Amino acid sequence: MTYHLAIDIGASSGRHILAHLEDGKICLEEIYRFDNSQVRKNGHDCWDHDALARHVIAGIKACATAGKIPATVGIDTWGVDFILLDKDLAPCSDMVAYRDARTEGMDKVVEAALPFDEHYGKTGIQKAVFNTIYQLAALKREAPEQLAKAAHFLMVPDYLNFRLTGKLSNEYTDATTTALVNARTKTWDPEVLDRLGLPKGIFGELTMPGTSLGGFTSEVKAEVGFDAEVVVPACHDTGSAYLAVPARDDQAIYLSSGTWSIIGVENPDPITTPASCAANFSNEGGAWYRFRFLKNIMGLWMIQSIRRQLNGVDYVEGKAKTGEGPEVLKDWTAHKHSFDELEKAARAAGDFPSVVDAADKRFFAPDSMIGAVRAACAESGQKVPETVGEVVQCVYQSLAASYAREAKLLASLTGKTYTSLNIVGGGSQDTYLNALTAKATGLEVFAGPTEGTSIGNLVVQFIHTGEFKDLAEARAAIARSF
C-alpha cells in the first residue's frame, strides 16, 4: 500500500490526512489533529511558529505509530501571513496573524506610492486589509530593522517546509496572495517591490506545485523514525480546495466554504479589467497556472464567532474581547451550543426577515459578533434579532444573499452563464445553508467533498508519483470516491 500525507492547517485547527488508492477510489484517514490559535507577542496577534512546526512533526510521527508510512508529504495553510529569516536562517520577525490591527490604514500608505488601479492591473489581486503587501508596509513603518536584517521571506507553508527539509522555497499559489506577484509574468513584480521600497533579494524564485523538496532533515528523520519525500502542493489552502472540486462541466461556480467563503471559477488567464477591479475580484494563481478568479466573503467565521460567545468564550483566536454579549438574547442559556443546535434554532426562526452585508468590515474582528449583527440591523432600520435563532438565521440568510450577489457579478465579469454551484470544505456539511444558497442563487448546488483542501493537496502528490496521469483523471476519481 502506498500512502500519502496531506497536512492541512487552518486558522483554528490543523489535521494530518493519510490517503491511498483502492479500486480506483481515494481512501482517507485522519491520523492527527491539533488546535491552532493566536498568541499575543510584542504587541501583536501572532501565530506560534514553533508550535506549528512541532505539531507538523508530531502528526508525521503518528503515521509511524499507526504503521502507515507515507511516501510523500505535502503542506497547505491559509494565505498572506509570513515570517522573515536572517542570513543564519533564524527568524528575525514574528509570524504576525492577518487579523492583527497593524494593517489599519496601510492601504492609504501603499496607494500613495502605487495607486490601486495600477497595482490591480499588475497583480490582479483584490484589495483586502490583511493582504501581505499591507502587512509589509506596516512592518516597514513599525520595525524597519527587521526588514533590513532579513535575508529570506517565507510564507507559513514555506517556513514549515523549511523546518522539515532545510530547503528554502517560495510556492507560487501562496505567493500570489501577497499582491506582489505579477499575474502575467507569474513572478515577483520588481516595480511593485521598488515602489514600496521592499528589498527584492529576500524574495526567492517561485516554486510550482508538484515540485519535490527532497526528504526530511537528519533531525526530523531521527525524531519521526522514517524519511519521506516532501512534495509542494498548492500550498494556499484555497488553491488546493479548488483542485478537489468534482465539477461536472465548465459552467460550474466553486465555493470553498469554511471560516472564509471563497466563491469563484477557474480561468486560463487573469481578468484585470477596470470592471473586475471595481468589483474587487481576485486572480489568485493556481496549480499549473490555472487562475482562480474569486472573491473572499466573511463566511462561517460569523457563525463560529457567535458560537464562541454563546458558549461563554470572551475571546476570538486568542484576542481578548469586550462588547455586547449573549446575555442580551432572550433565550440564551449558559451551556455548550453545538453547530447542529444553532442550525436547528435558525430553521425555527426561518421567517426572520433581516439581512446584513456579510462583506461589511465590521464583521472582520468585532468585539462582539452578536452585537455587530444586531447593530447592523438597527442601523439599516430592520428588525433587530432578539433570540439565538434569529441572530443565526440573519447570518445564514445574509451569507446566502452574498453568494447570490457575487455569483451574478461573477457571470457579468466573465461573460459566461453558470448553471451549478459546487460547495467544498467543512461548510459543505451545513445542509441548511446549502438549501438557502440554492434558493438565493437559483443554481443547482452540489455539496462536497468535505475534506476538499486535503484532497486537493493529495491530488498533487498522486499526480507527482504517477498514480493519476492528470487533474481530469484525479477529479473523476474524486467524484467516484466522495
Q: Determine the Cα–Cα distance for residues 123 and 187; give it in Å rounded to an integer.
A: 10
Q: Determine the Cα–Cα distance for residues 224 and 207; give it in Å rounded to an integer.
A: 26
Q: Are 60 and 92 in contact (CB under 8 A)?
A: no
Q: Determine the Cα–Cα distance for residues 41 and 31; give it in Å rounded to an integer.
A: 31
Pairing of strands 282-284, 152-155: unpaired
Give me the residue label for grid cell 514553533: 50
Q: b or e along 246-255 (b: 16 or more beta carbons within 10 Å of the residue's beta carbon)?
A: bbeeeebbbb
- For residue 262, CA distances in Å to 36, 156, 294, 331 come to 21, 20, 7, 33
Let me know if 424 is exposed, middle or buried by CB neighbors in 10 A (0-12, 13-18, 19+). Answer: buried
Q: Determine the Cα–Cα distance for residues 197 and 193; give it in Å rounded to an integer.
A: 6
In 3-state terms, what secondary structure has residue 35?
strand
Q: Is 86 a catalytic residue?
A: no
Let me know if 96 is exposed, middle or buried by CB neighbors in 10 A (0-12, 13-18, 19+). Answer: buried
Catalytic residue among 237, 249, 340, 351: 237
Q: Are 413 and 279 in contact (CB under 8 A)?
A: yes
DSSP-derived letter for residue 458 is H
Helices (H), 204-294: 218-224, 237-243, 274-279
Residues facing 152 on adjacent strands: 85
Q: Determine the Cα–Cα distance for residues 461 and 422; give it in Å rounded to an integer.
A: 23
In 3-state terms, what secondary structure has residue 334?
coil
Residues facing 269 on adjacent strands: none
Nearest to 83 by CA among 147, 155, 141: 155
Helix, strand, coil shares of the chain as percentages rounded to 5? 45, 20, 35
Nearest to 98 by CA among 45, 142, 159: 45
Nearest to 31 by CA among 241, 224, 236, 218: 224
Q: Determine the Cα–Cα distance for residues 103 and 263; give it in Å rounded to an integer.
A: 24
Neighbours of 325 (CB within 10 A): 17
Q: Catalytic positions, please? A: 237
